[in-house]
Amino acid sequence: MGLNSNRVEDLSSHETAVRIPDLEAAMAQPAQEIHKVCLPPKQTTLQKLKHRLSEVFFPDDPLHKFHYQTTFLRKLLLGLQFFFPIFQWGPLYNVTLLRSDVISGLTIASLAIPQGISYAKLANLPPIVGLYSSFVPPLIYSLLGSSKHLAVGPVSIASLVMGSMLSEVVSPVQQPDLYLKLAFTATFFAGVFQASLGILRLGFIIDFLSKATLLGFMAGAAVIVSLQQLKGLLGIVHFTSKMQLAPVMSSVFSHRDEWSWQTIVMGFGFLVFLLATRHISMRKPKLFWISAAAPLTSVLLSTLIVFLLRSKSPHISIIGNLPKGLNPPSSNMLFFSGSFFGLAIKTGIITGILSLTEGIAVGRTFASLENYQVDGNKEMMAIGLMNIAGSCSSCYVTTGSFSRSAVNYNAGAKTTVSNIIMASAVLVTLLFLMPLFHYTPNVILAAIIITAVIGLIDYQSALRLWKVDKLDFLACLSSFFGVLFISVPLGLAIAVGVSVFKILLHVTRPNTMVLGNIPGTQIYHNLSRYREALRVPSFLILAVESPIYFANSTYLQERILRWIREEEERIVATNGSTLKCIILDMTAVTAIDTSGIDMIREIKKMLDKRSLQLVLANPGGTVMEKLQQSKALEIFGCSGVYLTVGEAVGDISSLYKAQAQAQP
Amino acid sequence: MGLNSNRVEDLSSHETAVRIPDLEAAMAQPAQEIHKVCLPPKQTTLQKLKHRLSEVFFPDDPLHKFHYQTTFLRKLLLGLQFFFPIFQWGPLYNVTLLRSDVISGLTIASLAIPQGISYAKLANLPPIVGLYSSFVPPLIYSLLGSSKHLAVGPVSIASLVMGSMLSEVVSPVQQPDLYLKLAFTATFFAGVFQASLGILRLGFIIDFLSKATLLGFMAGAAVIVSLQQLKGLLGIVHFTSKMQLAPVMSSVFSHRDEWSWQTIVMGFGFLVFLLATRHISMRKPKLFWISAAAPLTSVLLSTLIVFLLRSKSPHISIIGNLPKGLNPPSSNMLFFSGSFFGLAIKTGIITGILSLTEGIAVGRTFASLENYQVDGNKEMMAIGLMNIAGSCSSCYVTTGSFSRSAVNYNAGAKTTVSNIIMASAVLVTLLFLMPLFHYTPNVILAAIIITAVIGLIDYQSALRLWKVDKLDFLACLSSFFGVLFISVPLGLAIAVGVSVFKILLHVTRPNTMVLGNIPGTQIYHNLSRYREALRVPSFLILAVESPIYFANSTYLQERILRWIREEEERIVATNGSTLKCIILDMTAVTAIDTSGIDMIREIKKMLDKRSLQLVLANPGGTVMEKLQQSKALEIFGCSGVYLTVGEAVGDISSLYKAQAQAQP
């Protein structure tokens, strides 16, 4: 077989006397064009490796813009714009954009301040750390990030996971210093992990947390978080630090003597208020500001109530004193050895991957709404660097928050300047307004958290999964129950396992089907799906719907032999014409490995012994190449590989006719 | 979209005024037949599950013979034949067959006796256990096994792995009883594991040990085993029980004072003899009996030499006393609790899976030579049951040996009766000939082991892997070095990991390509592979070569957008006609999940905003079904899905022409 053959040969010039015993008879048939199956252009191993690596690591060809630039200065500018998107939109920035950004920035600040304090509590960290984390990271992101609508700060899932993973080993109450050190170190590693995913262009790793997995995971986490907030809502003092369903529920009911009615009344009152505003905003997206303003309103209102009743209600626990001032440096609190080092790395990687997934998904969502593109790998670097910087300035792990980004988008944010405005509002709060939060009751934080996480329980999407893809639903369920009953990392691992198992199952047990001809056309299609498709007498046309690998070669061999056996039984039962030729449609066989090649050889050999012809139709480029390299192509000969099923049927059946005419 | 639609509709009846603003203009075009894309026949979830399960667990339809039997007696007979293949060939057995089986049985016995003793030494077990294991398991297998040529008994790989895994924890010298118990218990679990794989029809699990992995693993094991035999060949007394390269080599050289020249002379003499006979038999397969007879000859000869020189050469270590008599029962030595229980299970599973892989592969090889089929799941049950029975009668793990089966086949074995003959010869040996082996030198066993395992180093196959499939070669290398430098289980795990990674890589970064039309046909093919293929103006035809999953949906989205961007740049550069329509050829997209559907929706939405039309060509059955269930089909409308690329191009371009004619 020649390489790069672009000849179009007709039947007469194409083949030898072996195939056409009676050339005249064959010539009497209407001449059908037979196209040669080409090998792909020859490449060296190095070229192939280069192509493969560029597909794996640079699928989006990130430097394509540089191809068209000639001068050094232009390339420098492009490079600056590449690494700091602010250089891209900065020069075009104007007052109209600023006005929009100020409005949206202040709106998300009003949400970020109460949420920051609440989420820090969720991570068992001092509330002030939540505010610190809403100041430095947004500033860094506004320089590096490519999403215009991402509102950066602490988020519920990452806070919860960090809190649960760390407090299973170290008590935040008994060893607050160690706990804080651990949190910052974990944040540092989360950042390093995120940035290296971006730099090494391994961003596809987060794709393995499929949407189905995340759906289940977030719902499970939301259930646990909401139940944990019963501590605050009921005013319980002694509460488990564990994350599973059983210890949380037992904590709730074993400390019934600690329930405080004042707390319960206030908590459920504000919870109903918050949920109602959320409901209104969801029904009418234009009224998004109602739910956006509700948390700060609740905090101010409840603080006022507690302040006024401070002499009468000692049963409501309050935040207490918060230090005024900017983020203190914390790089001296990072540690890189010792017995807790492993825990910090593990927590960092898991919170890192989860917060990255959320950040990227949020960025993509709003980018798609506004029809611009977000570069995943660059986002990872931005988020990673902002967490590294955060870990050195008393911040814990942050990312783009879905709820705040939605508010940001709805409030009309145009660029990342809204993050700068938000950070400035937090700065003012940190410098001057901290005493205001002294009397803020903890119960209000619990209510805010519940309102925030309840939206993560998306049973309608789960229902849709069940309808469309049962195995996706299974992955969703396993991460839900895994998180609820086992633990966060194991729940995630199980769900990823189910997702990978699904891929492997599809490869291990691929679909095979019998094709038939749609009369009057050259189209061959699944017999069981197209009723008009007809079997071609003497032929069995099989399509294999998967690459042929070590993992399925044995199965495919058995299955193909079973199709042949069943076809022969059918022929006997219906008195049809003898089976002479099996055509394997290789269109969907996108790859083959050495076990697959052995399988093809083996089947060819077995069928040869039974005087059945085996031909291949439309093997793909890499498959052809491997068949040739392994010399398996030789056993088929020139006449054993066709470009389409139609040409194979046409050519071989005209050959049979010629043989039949020649014999008598 | 109607289900099971078998209408063939032409263009005029097919579409609405939206698509054809000027109907007359369209009618002026040659009428082209447009075929509807059907959904697969509707099935309930239960039916689908049933179909899926039967494909996963019963791909070979093992009970198909029962379908045609009506009477109870016939079904009973078939059932007996199904579980005990001996009922199939037993009634047809005759003297001619018996003569062949006796000759081959005695031939393999002459090989099995010295190998049995040697392999038991390899597993650090008393030599007699190797003979026991050559007696009971072959008898059981001859009742249950479906391979005619498998010669059953201890094999090198399983012996080596069991020896190395057990002796890393328990010393066979200091705690021989515990070691023996562990070996029998591990054998029991190996059998249980093997039989359950067969009963639960999970045989495909062994497929994950691909040929490439096994190639590297066996070569690594052979290197280690050969080096370990330096203990025997050099006459070293103190030797490591570890399996890695470093400790073995240091043992060899740190005990140079223990080297004994008598042993070395004898050992290398017989090693050269054995390798020479092996070489002769490999060059001339008809002379197989030379290498088959060599081990026994060497044993007898060396025993005679040592016996004659017994007063003069005390430096050659000998086997010593072996007990006469049949296998003692050992079921009382099995244990099911205690601290070593985990080790026994682990060793059992790993030796079980390795010996199963070897047994099945050997069975299949000879079945394919003689054109009969071996049922993998039934073989697993047979091998499993024979190991369970073996563990209760002082046998350690056994399977079909490649070298002895080859001899068996070459010596003309016709049925499993040759195993019975072999077992009888071992019986005679056990009962009467044991004293003969008293003076057999250990060095000869080392030489026999080296000769047996050296054939496992198949560098030519490895070279072929490198040529055909670089990733297969990588899997091979990693198992080779993993076994050599780390450990047997980890080496295997790494190699399986590499193999699975290969599958995932293919799914994560699937191939996409641009198709062009081969002039004068309805064939569309890869532009970079077929030089005669031409781009269709205004169209970009993309083929995706993989299922669309969560793991690749982000990549595919980026990649498709990049193709479009590059096409637009190319059009600008060449002044071509504007891009209007993107056709996604879904032929090789054999499955889709919810993330994939979201990706398709997303791209459709993005292209709609850019006034580019997106249509799908030839989506498969399950893909269509999921698109419909998820309502994604609705956004494409009736006109967005075509049966072939050719019909899509024909229909849409005639529509464009009609529009162009209507506008001026």
Q: How far A526 CA sits from the closest chain B CA (Å)?
A: 9
Q: Do B33 and A530 touch (CB under 8 A)?
A: no
Q: Read off the pLDDT of each residue in B476-488 and give the average, rounded to a whole number.
A: 87
Q: Is B144 helix (H, G, I), strand (E, B) or coil?
A: helix
Structure tokens, A500:
């990978």
Instruction: Give, as one character, the DSSP assignment of residue A325.
Output: S
| Pick from A61, A529, A532: CB nearest B562 | A61
Q: Read off the pLDDT of each residue in A20-37 and give the average, rounded to a whole number.
A: 49
Same domain, A320 and A201: yes
Kindly tell me if the per-residue pLDDT of B322 is higher than 70.
Answer: yes
| Ramachandran area for residue A457 (φ above 0: left; ψ -120 to 50: alpha; else beta) | beta
Of the given ranges (A311-320, A428-437, A490-499, B25-34), which has the lowest mean pLDDT? B25-34
- Write down the pLDDT at residue B604: 92
Compute the distance between CA of residue A44 and CA of residue A48 in angstroms, rounded to an integer: 6
* Within-domain flag for B123: yes
Buried b (16+ CB within 10 A) or exposed e, A82-95: beebbeebeeeeee
CB-CB contact of A331 with A392 (8 Å): yes
Structure tokens, B279:
């070489």
* Within-domain flag for B463: no
Structure tokens, A499:
């997702």
Q: Do A467 and B6 touch (CB under 8 A)?
A: no
Q: Which residues of A touch B2 (CB under 8 A)?
A: none
Q: How far A216 CA sits from the closest chain B CA (Å)?
A: 14
End-to-end CA, chain B: 35
Average pLDDT over chain B, rounded to whole? 85
* B597-616 pLDDT tens trace: 989 998 998 899 889 999 99
Task: Select, from the ranges A432-436, B42-46, B100-104, the one with the highest average predicted confidence (pLDDT).
Answer: B100-104
Same domain, B79 and B162: no
Percent of chain A whose pLDDT exceeds 70:
94
Of the given ranges (A634-643, B10-19, B40-49), which has the lowest mean pLDDT? B10-19
Kindly tell me if the per-residue pLDDT of B467 is higher than 90.
Answer: no
| Pick from A60, A472, A508: CB nearest B558 | A60
* A265-279 pLDDT tens trace: 888 999 999 999 988
* B214-238 pLDDT tens trace: 888 889 888 888 888 888 888 787 7
Kindly tell me if the per-residue pLDDT of B13 is higher than 50.
Answer: no
Kindly tell me if the per-residue pLDDT of B253 is higher than 50.
Answer: yes
Same domain, A240 and A358: yes
Q: Check CB contact of A568 with chain B, cutoff 8 Å.
A: no
CB-CB contact of B620 with B584 (8 Å): no
pLDDT band at B205 (very low <50, low <70, confident <90, very high): confident
Q: Do A588 and B591 touch (CB under 8 A)?
A: no
Q: Which residues pair with A318 in a beta bridge?
A: A441
Kindly tell me if the per-residue pLDDT of A16 is higher than 50.
Answer: no
Kindly tell me if the per-residue pLDDT of A520 is higher than 60.
Answer: yes
If you write DSSP's letter for every residue of B424-464 in order, what string do you get?
Answer: HHHHHIIIIIGGGGGG-BHHHHHHHHHHHHHTT--HHHHHH
Of the given ranges (A21-30, A140-149, A455-464, B240-249), which has the lowest mean pLDDT? A21-30
Compute the distance between CA of residue A581 and CA of residue A543 in angstroms, rounded to an integer: 14
Greater model confidence, A426 or B412: A426
Q: Do A35 and B518 touch (CB under 8 A)?
A: yes
| Pick from B511, B520, B593: CB nearest A472 | B593
Compute the distance between CA of residue A278 and CA of residue A269 in angstroms, rounded to an integer: 14
| Pick from B61, B467, B565: CB nearest A562 | B61
Q: How far B368 CA sits from the closest chain A CA (Å)?
A: 8
Q: Read off the pLDDT of each residue in A293-311 and give the average, rounded to a whole number.
A: 87
- Write down the pLDDT at residue B30: 44
CA dihedral A363, A364, A366, A371 (to 10 degrees): 130
Q: Read off the pLDDT of each residue in A632-637 and give the average, rounded to a whole number.
A: 85
CA dihedral B319, B320, B326, B329 (to 10 degrees): -80
Q: Which domain-ending residue is among A432, A460, A488?
A: A460
Q: Read off the pLDDT of each residue in B355-380 and give the average, rounded to a whole number.
A: 85
Q: Which domain-ending residue is among B441, B458, B475?
A: B458
Q: Which residues of B touch A510 (CB under 8 A)?
A: 590
Contacts of A634 (CB under 8 A, 6+ apart): none
* A2-11 pLDDT tens trace: 333 333 333 3
pLDDT band at A234 (very low <50, low <70, confident <90, very high): confident
Q: Do B6 and A532 touch (CB under 8 A)?
A: yes
C-alpha atoms less than 13 angstroms from C-alpha of B357 in its C-beta half-sphere: 23
| Parallel/antiparallel/unpaired status of strands A581-585 and A613-617 | parallel
- Tell me which H or E stretch contains B524: strand B524-526
Token pair 């890192």 in the structure block, residue:
A352
Q: How far A551 CA sits from the closest chain B CA (Å)?
A: 5
Q: Is A624 helix (H, G, I), strand (E, B) or coil?
A: helix
* B100-136 pLDDT tens trace: 899 999 989 988 988 899 899 889 999 999 999 999 9
pLDDT band at A25 (very low <50, low <70, confident <90, very high): very low
Token pair 């309840």 in the structure block, residue:
A454
- Write down the pLDDT at residue B285: 79
Q: Check CB contact of B370 with chain A, cutoff 8 Å.
A: no
Same domain, B341 and B208: yes
Kindly tell me if the per-residue pLDDT of A26 is higher than 80.
Answer: no
| Pick from A41, A594, A606: CB nearest B371 | A606
pLDDT band at A182 (very low <50, low <70, confident <90, very high): very high
| Residue among A453, A465, A339 at smallest CA distance from B598 | A465
State which residue of chain A sits closest to B48, comparing Cα positions.
Answer: A470
Kindly tell me if the per-residue pLDDT of B309 is higher than 90.
Answer: no
* Within-domain flag for B384: yes
| Helices of type H across B542-620 | 550-574, 594-609
Same domain, A209 and A339: yes
Domain containing residue B563: CATH number? 3.30.750.24
Q: Which residues of B touch A467 (CB under 8 A)?
A: 629-630
Q: Do A35 and B521 touch (CB under 8 A)?
A: yes
Structure tokens, A410:
């709805």
Same domain, B167 and B183: yes
State which residue of chain B sits closest to A210, comparing Cα positions.
Answer: B550
- Write down the pLDDT at residue B32: 57
* Within-domain flag for B634: yes
State which residue of chain B sits closest to A3, comparing Cα positions.
Answer: B529
Q: Do B59 and A212 touch (CB under 8 A)?
A: no
CB-CB contact of A628 with A1 (8 Å): yes
* Within-domain flag for B2: no
pLDDT band at B19 (very low <50, low <70, confident <90, very high): very low
- Write down the pLDDT at residue B168: 85
* Within-domain flag for B488: no
Kindly tell me if the per-residue pLDDT of B12 is higher than 60.
Answer: no
Q: Note the pTM of the prediction, 2 decimals.
A: 0.81
- Write down the pLDDT at residue B55: 79
Same domain, B569 and B620: yes
| Pick from A500, A523, A530: CB nearest B38 | A530
Average pLDDT over chain A, rounded to whole? 85
pLDDT band at A30 (very low <50, low <70, confident <90, very high): very low
Find residues 213-242 of chain A whose CB sits inside 8 Å of chain B: 213
Cα torsion angle, A642, A643, A648, A650, sign: negative
Compute the distance between CA of residue A455 and CA of residue A457 in angstroms, rounded to an integer: 5
State which residue of chain B sits closest to A609, comparing Cα positions.
Answer: B371
Compute the distance between CA of residue A356 and CA of residue B340 in angstroms, rounded to an integer: 44
| Parallel/antiparallel/unpaired status of strands A641-642 and B512-517 | unpaired
CB-CB contact of A147 with A85 (8 Å): no
| Residue among B150, B166, B162 at smallest CA distance from B112 | B150
Q: Which residues pair with B516 in a beta bridge?
A: B525
Percent of chain A whose pLDDT exceeds 90:
25
Kindly tell me if the per-residue pLDDT of B14 is higher than 50.
Answer: no
Q: Do B210 and A626 touch (CB under 8 A)?
A: no
Of the given ranges (B65-69, B265-269, B432-436, B627-631), which has the lowest mean pLDDT? B65-69
Cα torsion angle, A242, A248, A251, A254, sign: negative
Token pair 């540690």 in the structure block, residue:
A335
Task: Select, from the ranges A199-203, A286-290, A396-400, A451-455, the one with the highest average predicted confidence (pLDDT).
Answer: A396-400
Q: Check CB contact of A168 with chain B, cutoff 8 Å.
A: no
Percent of chain B whose pLDDT exceeds 90:
26
Same domain, B121 and B150: yes
Token pair 């030729």 in the structure block, residue:
A581
- Write down the pLDDT at residue B1: 38
Q: Which domain-ending residue is among A399, A433, A460?
A: A460
Same domain, A364 and A451: yes
Q: Which residues of B touch A497 (CB under 8 A)?
A: none
Buried b (16+ CB within 10 A) or exposed e, A438-470: ebbbbbbbbbbbbbbbbebbeeeebebbeebbe
Q: State how many domains chain B has.
A: 3
| Helices of type H across A455-487 | 459-468, 470-481
| Residue among B109, B114, B160 at smallest CA distance from B135 | B109
If you write DSSP's letter for every residue of B39-102 in order, what string do you get?
Answer: PPPP--HHHHHHHHHHHHH-TT-TTGGGGG--SHHHHHHHHHHHH-THHHHGGG--HHHHHHHH
CB-CB contact of A171 with A371 (8 Å): no
CB-CB contact of A462 with A219 (8 Å): yes
* A373-392 pLDDT tens trace: 788 888 999 999 999 999 99
Find residues 263-322 of chain B whose CB sits inside 8 Å of chain A: none
Q: Do A38 and B643 touch (CB under 8 A)?
A: no
- Write down the pLDDT at residue A32: 57
Q: Which residues of B touch A602 (CB under 8 A)?
A: 368
Kindly tell me if the per-residue pLDDT of A224 is higher than 50.
Answer: yes
Domain that holds residue B409: 88-458
Same domain, B95 and B69: no
- Write down the pLDDT at residue A387: 96
Compute the distance between CA of residue B345 and CA of residue B182 in angstroms, rounded to an integer: 9
Same domain, A443 and A529: no
**Is residue B653 exposed (0-12), middle (13-18) or buried (19+ Cβ within 10 Å)?**
middle
Q: Check CB contact of A549 with chain B, cutoff 8 Å.
A: yes
Q: Check CB contact of B74 with chain A, cutoff 8 Å.
A: no
- Write down the pLDDT at residue B11: 34
* Within-domain flag for A19: yes
| Residue among B500, B589, B580 at smallest CA distance from B541 | B580
Q: Which residues of A touch B464 (CB under 8 A)?
A: 594, 630
Q: Which residues of A touch B521 (CB under 8 A)?
A: 33, 35
C-alpha atoms less than 13 angstroms from C-alpha of A49 in its C-beta half-sphere: 6
Same domain, A25 and A142: no
Count residue pairs from A and B with Cβ separation < 8 A: 228
CA B190 to chain centre: 18
| Pick from A371, A469, A530: CB nearest B593 | A469
Helices B176-199 and B376-391 cross at an angle (nearest 10°) of 150
Q: Read off the pLDDT of each residue in A458-467 and give the average, rounded to a whole number.
A: 89
- Write down the pLDDT at residue A311: 77
Structure tokens, B600:
């398709």
* Within-domain flag for A521: yes
Instruction: Give, as one character, the DSSP assignment of residue A204.
Output: G
Cα A29 to Cα A14, A25, A661, A663, distances in angstroms: 15, 7, 12, 17
